[in-house]
Amino acid sequence: MVNGIINLKKEAGMTSHDAVFQLRKILSEKKIGHGGTLDPDVEGVLPIAIGKATRVIEYMTDSGKVYEGEVTLGLATTTEDSSGEVIEEKQVPLSLSEHMIDEAMTHFLGEITQVPPMYSAVKVKGKKLYEYARAGEEVERPSRLVTISLFERTSPLTFEHGLCRFTFRVACSKGTYVRTLCVDLGGRLGYPAHMSHLVRTASAGLELADALSLSEIEARVAQEQWDFLLPIEMGVKSLPSVAIDETNKQALLYGQFIELEGDAPLLAAYYDQRLVAILEKRGTSYKPKKVMQ
């Protein structure tokens, strides 16, 4: 059985489910999941969990993410990205300055409220929003709180055919819709907008520079080179950790509570630098939530 984490570079044009399906064939392993969906048009880091590592997917999904993309001001689409139909246009004057954009971006830092786009997988009354959108139905969408820790412009402004484009970098919490962030930025500036390009450069502690494509992974498997498999411990890097002794290790393996100092609601417990269990605070003790060995 194959166990571990893969830093996959998902290519544009495939869904996250497509990537998992292909990996199941390449690795001859059914127990595979991904840590954080990427839209089909978006490329970049897609954390993949294999075998026992699927038990830590939720902690990979909870970790922050970093994206690099492009905003186009002056044109809005149904999907909030370049794949949708144009629904609004407005010429952007050359007087729009970098300072005005930079100042507007600061208003999105910290905890903000977002309304998910209609073309998204958020469920309302048992149906995904994109199913309503494809049927031409508009429904009330639940707002959500997300955290933006970095939102900065990374290029000069480019003006062409009444539109204005620039690139950006954003670091955000799980559940953030970057295309909605682009649309809301445009709204603050007074222009329709959409996200014209996006790449996820980091997720769950994995970096795009180290990611491998499906074809690269397939080639390594054919040569029986498994060095691309990362340890399960990579999946819990976002959790506070604690080193335990042999006595506590044995207690956890039997599902027993152990006494540890600290108030963290969740802890990753290690013995000899290997993950033993995910611990959950219960009163003055810690209970094994998931035992990994």
pLDDT at 224: 92
Q: What percent of the chain has pLDDT over 70?
A: 96
Task: For residue 244, give every residue at least 6 positions away whose Cβ sits within 8 Å of its Cβ, in sequence order, or none.
Answer: 252, 258, 260, 269, 270, 271, 276
Task: For residue 198, give every residue at least 6 positions away whose Cβ sits within 8 Å of its Cβ, in sequence order, or none.
Answer: 39, 41, 42, 44, 67, 68, 69, 70, 81, 178, 179
Per DSSP, the residues of 225-254 read --TTPBPGGGGGTTS-EEE--HHHHHHHHT
Taking only the tens place, the pLDDT of each residue in 244-276 is 999 999 999 999 999 998 889 999 999 999 999
Task: Specify whether domain 4-63+204-234 bears CATH 3.90.1200.10.
Answer: no
Task: For residue 53, give every residue at least 6 positions away whose Cβ sits within 8 Å of its Cβ, in sequence order, or none.
Answer: 3, 4, 5, 232, 235
pLDDT at 118: 65
Name the residue type at position 204.
Answer: A
Q: Indicate the helix (H) or strand (E) that contains 183.
A: helix 178-189
Mean of the pLDDT values across residues 32-37? 88
Same fold for the pair 65-201 and 239-291: no
Task: For residue 99, give every residue at least 6 positions away whose Cβ sits within 8 Å of its Cβ, in sequence order, or none.
Answer: none
Tell me the C-alpha distance between 289 and 267, whole Å. Answer: 10
pLDDT band with cut points at 50, 70 and 90 for residue 206: very high
Q: Indicate the helix (H) or strand (E) that contains 184.
A: helix 178-189
Taking only the tens place, the pLDDT of each residue in 123-134 is 766 677 677 667
CATH architecture, range 65-201? 2-Layer Sandwich (3.30)
The catalytically annotated residue of 18, 39, 245, 272 is 39
Weakest-pLDDT range from 69-78, 98-107, 129-138:
129-138
Instruction: Flag whether the pTM goes above 0.85.
Output: yes
pLDDT at 119: 66
E-strand stretches of 173-231: 193-203, 206-207
Domain boundaries along the sequence of the chain? 4-63+204-234, 65-201, 239-291
Mean of the pLDDT values across residues 92-107? 98
Give the domain 239-291 fold: 2.30.130
Mean of the pLDDT values across residues 165-176? 95
- Average model confidence (pLDDT) across the chain: 91
pLDDT band with cut points at 50, 70 and 90 for residue 116: confident
Query: Which residue pairs from 175-179 have beta carbons closer than 8 angstroms and sit at least 24 positions apart in sequence?
Result: 175/144, 175/146, 176/65, 176/114, 176/146, 176/147, 176/148, 177/80, 177/114, 177/116, 177/117, 177/120, 178/67, 178/69, 179/79, 179/80, 179/81, 179/117
Query: Is 39 part of the annotated catalytic residue set?
Result: yes
Taking only the tens place, the pLDDT of each residue in 36-55 is 888 888 999 999 999 999 99
Q: Give phi and psi for 10, each to the nearest 5.
A: -75, 130
Mean of the pLDDT values across residues 88-106? 97
Mean of the pLDDT values across residues 137-148? 83
pLDDT at 122: 67
pLDDT at 91: 97
